[in-house]
Amino acid sequence: MGEKPGAGIIAASAAFAFGAGLVTLVCPGRPVCCPYELMDSPVPPAATNALALGMGLGVPSVGALAWLDAHPDAACVFDADILKYKGIKELILRRKKVVLTPHPKEFATLLGLCGLGEYDVPYIAEHRFELVRRFCATFPQAVLLLKGANCLIAQGVKVSVNTLGSSCLAKGGSGDVLAGLVAALLAQGYGAYDAAVSGSLAHALASRRVKCSYGMTPFELIEHVKELESLSR
């Protein structure tokens, strides 16, 4: 939780709805209006095995960075503001299991901070496969989920394309839902690549069940995620 706590609440609610047994909002500046099914704490609980960081965060706190340094084995989703942190390259290199979920503008910033070139969003749209492969060659242990009309999920030399999303996923808050879904799967023991692919697929399939795309809210999207289990029976 940071400057915009709503984003963290959305991500945490999505994680809880997607199978994570216990979900805690980390709120250094307590109190916060926490949904009843979630817990809150000034620091991550001792048993934390997956962390989603960056949604509405603003500038990362010293405490958050210290926790990451002290827990290199904890799986992480890096989204939104953490992708603009000047030390992001070192954070990625130190993680054993990490998924990054930028949209194209955040990806442009990320590439620059990692020393992989300065690009604008139109260039990224035109050359996204090339740039994704360049990023993954530099960080082979990391998984990159580049959001867009067709999401790219990549690790090492593997690249998957999710073409099932809908236009409502461009609405504010939908990316926070995606971060929560991926974090939930990491917490349940999925590998980083499988968590990113499965989380992106669930996100897209849920969006296709929305009846009013322009009126969708993140919590409506989460409700449709809950319906996906019945589709597989």
* DSSP assignments along 32-98, one per residue: ----TTSEEESS--TT--EEEE-TT--SPPHHHHHHHHH-TTSEEEE-GGGGG-TTHHHHHHH-SSE
Residue 3 confidence class, pLDDT cut points 50, 70, 90: confident
Q: Establish if 230 belongs to a structural domain.
A: no
**CATH classification at residue 122:** 3.40.1190.20
Number of domains in the chain: 1
Q: Is the pLDDT of residue 187 over 80?
A: yes
CB 16 within 8 A of CB 34: no
Q: Is the pLDDT of residue 138 over 70?
A: yes
Q: Is the pLDDT of residue 28 over 90?
A: no
Q: Establish if 182 belongs to a structural domain.
A: yes
CB 181 within 8 A of CB 15: yes
The bridge status of strand 151-155 relative to strand 143-146 is antiparallel
Range of the structural domain that residue 136 is part of:
5-224
Q: Establish if 113 belongs to a structural domain.
A: yes
Q: What integer pLDDT is reported at residue 72 of this predicted model?
A: 92
Distance CA 116, CA 141 (A): 17
pLDDT tens, position by position, 139-184: 999 999 999 989 999 999 999 999 999 999 999 999 999 999 999 9
Q: Establish if 229 belongs to a structural domain.
A: no
Q: Is the pLDDT of residue 116 over 80?
A: yes
Q: Establish if 152 belongs to a structural domain.
A: yes
Pick from 232, 150, 142: nearest CA to 191:
142
Q: Which of 105-109, 132-136, 192-196, 214-218 has the lowest mean pLDDT?
A: 214-218
